[in-house]
Structure 1
Amino acid sequence: MEKVSEKTGGSQTIRIPGDIPAPSGGKFRQWVRENLLLVLTVLGVFSGSAIGLLARQTEYSDEVVLLVGFPGELLLRSLKMLILPLIISSLVSGLACLDAGASGKMGSRALLYYFSTTIMAAILGITVVVVIHPGDPSSSGSQQEQNASGDSGDGDNTVMDALLDIIRNMFPDNLITACFQSVKTEAKLVNKTIGEGADQRQVTKVQRDLVVSEGTNVMGLIIFCVGFGLIAGQMGPQGKLMVDFFLILNEITMKMVCIIMWYSPFGICCLVAGNLMAIDNLADTARSLGMYMATVVTGLLIHATVSLPMVYFCVTRKNPFKFCKGIVQAWALALGTASSSAALPITFQCLEVNNGLDKRVTRFVLPVGATVNMDGTALYEAVASIFIAQKNNMNLSIGGLITVSLTATLASIGAASIPSAALVTMLLILQALGLPTHDVALIFTVDWLLDRMRTSINVLGDAYGAGIVQHLCRDELARMDAEAERRDREMAEMLRSGSVALSGGGRGSLLPRGSICPSVAPSGAMLPLRPTGALSPAEDRPPPSAPAAAAARNSWFEKRIPNSETQI
């Protein structure tokens, strides 16, 4: 700041101007440097779209498409590699640092938010598709021929089967196999002979078998990690070593995520370009399903810009768009990868660093939300099922629409957080409504694009949920922080008054002053015992201050990682 002297008549005035504002170009460059990763990610999305559209003007082979999309495949595989250690370490370490009351309230509030917004999304999807009415029966071809060609040799999985599969997968019989597979009910029609003699007849029955499905049983791992973390936190000093292990594992995993984040812009560019190049006829696809795509996108935009911000503002009374600005990086990654699990590591980073959320909240809410909270998927499935009914000239009653909303909510919860998982759960809704399941192939041609959009809405809903849960649990978190601060002050007072002494080289073992503690020689031989009240010359120093007492009490993890945003 520069002082400028001015003389007016016989007096002297000293004017101290404010800081000279930086030119607009300098501010923009500074903003780009501070948000370089975000800028590169957004550029990757647009660059991939441009490259894919330009490449379609030329002739290329399937091998070229494979090579273009290969770097994107490496990005997906790298992120999926970290999903399992990230979910386990974040849940265990986060819940171990919460008491049972705080974790119970946090979990109930998170689940209430998830179910509420998912039902809102399903109802919004039904409203949008009924108003716009994108299904045109005249463009569905020979409907009778399609229905005649549909193979109904398999039994239909009911809503009850899907619900039982969700509950069954919550309690896996083998944790190792749960890391890479789950179970599901498979129904098939079998012919059985009943009766004897003249009363003998053939009947067709539905036989249900449990079959193995490839993919991580995330729900089962979450249930186990929740119980493991809560019990480890209640064990106190006995479980401290295990809690420290998962805390360090979480930090290591997040550092690996930071490395992958700088590769993500290039990987997303290749993913988008490869998907565009793989479409056989882009113009015909856009023409035949244009209204359907417009309906889904309209519903997703309303949910992302109106419904979720409105819920966040009504609960927290804070600016939702300022909160959303901090998670653009996670939203862009979800848009490029079409996997909420793959975007989970980046979502952690955005919420904790950009938006300053408490790690005790994000480590519990986000892994659960990546599995349970599927707003975009519920909206998409509601629109797609009613669109197929409209294409087949079938009018759904009020009861049918209610069935769509409830079934879409349950199906979205059971959907895996992987690309195009909603197409699998879509069959459940179609069967519940009695609609032809072969029409799923009709919407598969554009699912690659809509999948990315609905996944980005899922991630957005998870982030808003973490912010809402932290606001609702702020009293419990403040009480826990005050309790920890009170213990630090009490320990500092005890050390200052001389009522306790640190033993074991100041590693935190407390003994009453005046008691007898053994001293161990370097060779391991026991030295003569001495009262802990008799200080050696090296120990004859003033009592430690409160920060020193707190440092003596802190764990090895807190000493080794002092730059954590929230010390838990």
Structure 2
Amino acid sequence: MPPDVGERQREIVMGWLRKNLLLVLTIGSVVLGAILGFAFRPLNLTPQSVMYIAFPGELLMHMLKMMILPLIMSSLISGLSQLDARQSGKLGSLAVTYYVFTTVVAVITGIFLVLVIHPGDPTIKEDLGTGTEGKTVSTVDTLLDLLRNMFPENIVQATFQQVQTKYITVRPKIVKNNDTATLAALNNGTLDYVKASVEYTSGMNVLGIIVFCIGVGISLSQLGAEASVMVQFFVIMDKVIMKLVMTVMWYSPFGILCLIMGKILEIHDLADTARMLAMYMVTVLTGLAVHSLISLPLIYFLCTKKNPYKFMRGMVQAWITALGTASSSATLPITFNCLEENLGVDRRVTRFVLPVGATINMDGTALYEAVAAIFIAQMNGVHLSFGQVVTVSLTATLASIGAASVPSAGLVTMLLVLTAVGLPVKDVSLIVAVDWLLDRIRTSINVLGDAFGAGIVYHYVKDDLAAHDRVAATVRTTSITVLDEKRPLAVYSSLPTDEKNLN
């Protein structure tokens, strides 16, 4: 091989490595974290030592979660304020249609596989134990909480608390005709009754913040030039947050390595649990693979006539980060960067579609909940009728929308799905042992689904955005060139620099 050809190939390889260094480091961190985690397991480290090992990963989660609130607010408001009402409506309708359709497809895929493979075996329940008691969950109450959280009474409180219905036992304090029988019934709790109580629990109300920011963004777009200063503020704030995110991204490989190591070291009876729940894991993983490698790419291809796997290649960084953090909200900044820098999706689309998708589009979670519910039914020897299977599918779809985009949120909403078909909620504890792994994988599928949604929406609105930009540029040029005696020079000198240059 001539020296110049070899040198050119080395330059190409080095150029690729420089461009994709962060991606290579992130993939390497996941692999190395898994290897080191399994290598250190025979040492039987103390919980304190495991905590120290996982601490750098905990810091990474703190850094990423710190960015969520300012990023969602700045990205949504800046994106929507630069669109007119018609474009915002088209973006929203396309995004919601995609979210609902892909979630239903995921649920149907999961139900089909769990009924065909039939991983549930009653002996598994005997081996793993009966678990702990769960709490009563009502489907109606959960849906009402979803609506309450969409419209928080205090937007500041929504940044750290959300509404949740809880049931409390109330004992009557005053009883008339206090005879002996009544007093005895009062003392032994016979007269106690259960009352629904709406309480605030810790955790960011992302849905309420998104609804508020959508309203502010659309209102700013309707105000036009009058709101230009405020729009510019949120645009600059968005750029500042993304600059901070890029700094955090260079720390993420080390943090992800520690997260993976710590999680593997925390698991006690890894081999036995995996053996007993092997078919359940195979069913969930097969469903997630079918949805991510066949269903979503097929939908993307049919909508855009473009290669979906080339699109997926540009999302590898976000997919690996979701695998490490198990949180689609924490992965949001990296998803923004992959779509805008690697795939060229307009930031006005990503700034609207992704925050909403990270909150309500949970394909992986919906599939997982449908499989887990029917798996628990099979373990209890319960045969679900067609109507009950339909109930599982609908409830899993709604529950995934209400699931917070944080680690292990799927386990909480699982209670809703089990209650809907009368299955014991305490059996959720049977699948907790393998949830740490499935949670990471289904979160990465959630992120991939959000990204495909942004790509599809951008395909349908890019011509409208280009036309809007041409009209806006024409209006700015006309407003600057048409200068006469009635317009003081001071007004012209106060215009932004980019508008002066258009003249």
Q: Does 1:274 align with 2:262?
A: yes
The one-letter code of the counterpart of 1:184 is Q
2:79–2:352 contact (8 Å) kept in structure 1: yes
Q: Distance in 1 between matches of 2:287 and 2:91?
A: 29
Tell me the CA shift for residue 25 of structure 1.
Answer: 4.6
Q: Distance in 2 between matches of 1:254 and 1:396?
A: 48
1:154-181 superposed Cα distances (whole Å, 9 cap, x missing partner): 6x32211111110011111111110000
Tell me the CA shift for residue 550 of structure 1.
Answer: 3.7
Q: How does 1:348-497 map to 2 (within 5 A)?
A: 348-491=336-479, 493-494=481-482
Give percent identity, aligned residues only: 52
Higher relative contact order (CA 8 A, sep 6+): 2
1:488–1:549 contact (8 Å) kept in structure 2: no
**1:235 alignment partner in structure 2:** 223
**1:518 alignment partner in structure 2:** none
Q: Which has the larger radius of gyration?
A: 1
Q: Does 1:165 align with 2:150?
A: no
Q: Does 1:141 align with 2:103?
A: no
Q: Distance in 1 between matches of 2:324 and 2:276?
A: 24
Q: Distance in 2 between matches of 1:273 and 1:239?
A: 49
**1:507 alignment partner in structure 2:** 493
The one-letter code of the counterpart of 1:85 is P
The correspondence for 1:55, drawn from 29, 35, 40, is 40
Q: How does 1:195-210 map to 2 (within 5 A)?
A: 205-210=193-198
Q: TM-score, normalised by structure 1?
A: 0.82
Q: TM-score, normalised by structure 2?
A: 0.92
1:508–1:552 contact (8 Å) kept in structure 2: no
Judged with a 3 Å threshold, the aligned counterparts in structure 2 of structure 1 residues 296 and 502 are, in CA distance, closer, same or farther, namely farther
Judged with a 3 Å threshold, the aligned counterparts in structure 2 of structure 1 residues 480 and 159 are, in CA distance, closer, same or farther, namely same
Matched positions, count: 492
Describe the SS at the equivalent of 2:156.
helix
The correspondence for 1:91, drawn from 50, 65, 76, is 76
Tell me the CA shift for residue 364 of structure 1.
Answer: 0.6
2:132–2:429 contact (8 Å) kept in structure 1: no
Aligned-residue Cα RMSD (Å) equals 2.6
Q: Distance in 2 between matches of 1:195 and 1:168?
A: 38
Tell me the CA shift for residue 30 of structure 1.
Answer: 2.4
Q: Distance in 2 between matches of 1:402 and 1:437?
A: 19
Describe the SS at the equivalent of 1:303.
helix
Unaligned runs of 5+ in 1: 1-18, 511-547, 555-568
Pick which of 156-165 and 100-109 moved more.
Answer: 156-165
Q: Distance in 2 between matches of 1:325 and 1:397?
A: 41
Tell me the CA shift for residue 151 of structure 1.
Answer: 5.2
1:48-99 superposed Cα distances (whole Å, 9 cap, x missing partner): 0000010012232222211110000000000000100000000111111110
Q: Distance in 1 between matches of 2:341 and 2:486?
A: 39
Tell me the CA shift for residue 494 of structure 1.
Answer: 2.8
- Normalized per residue, which structure has more helix? 2
1:378-437 superposed Cα distances (whole Å, 9 cap, x missing partner): 001111111111111111111111111110111111111110011111111111111111
2:477–2:502 contact (8 Å) kept in structure 1: no
Describe the SS at the equivalent of 1:140.
helix
The one-letter code of the counterpart of 2:382 is M
Q: Distance in 1 between matches of 2:101 and 2:495?
A: 48
Tell me the CA shift for residue 29 of structure 1.
Answer: 2.8
Pick which of 188-197 and 435-444 moved more.
Answer: 188-197
The correspondence for 1:186, drawn from 160, 166, 175, is 166
Q: Distance in 1 between matches of 2:486 and 2:336?
A: 41
Describe the SS at the equivalent of 1:419.
coil
